[in-house]
Amino acid sequence: MILAAALCYAGMAGLCLAMDRHHSQVWKTKAPNRQRLLRIAGWLLLALAAWPCVLIWGSAVGPVVWCGMLSVGAFTLVLLLPYRPRTAVLLAAIAAGAGLPVLLLTAG
């Protein structure tokens, strides 16, 4: 479940940082290519976060747990982003960087 929560947090952070307002909190210059990449990565990470939920809980309860993990990831980001935006980005990078290899190990 920690894997799903980490991937949901990283995905939500990607979607959040793709917005102009939050993008300017972290980076000085506006970069449309970076924002597009963050948006794509955010959606991809959120979709990948469903995998461990369905794997552990099954196809009936897994999507419900995934929705709960989306809420946990978003709530964590909402609490962290206004006060420490660069820390939120660092934590998202760590969550995605550690979560994706673990996800690949569970798939194989």
Question: Which distant-in-sequence residues (6+ apart) come within 8 Å of 70 by Cβ?
Answer: 8, 12, 46, 49
The whole-model pTM stands at 0.90
Enclosing H/E stretch for 74: helix 32-80
Q: Give CA–CA dist 24/21, Å, rounded.
A: 6
Q: 4, 67 in Cβ contact below 8 A?
A: no
Q: What is the pLDDT along the chain (108 residues), one digit of tens a residue?
A: 889 999 999 999 999 999 988 888 888 888 899 999 999 999 999 999 999 999 989 999 999 999 999 999 999 999 998 899 899 999 999 999 998 888 888 776
The Cα-based distances of 43 to 10, 14, 17, 47, 108 in angstroms read 10, 8, 12, 6, 23
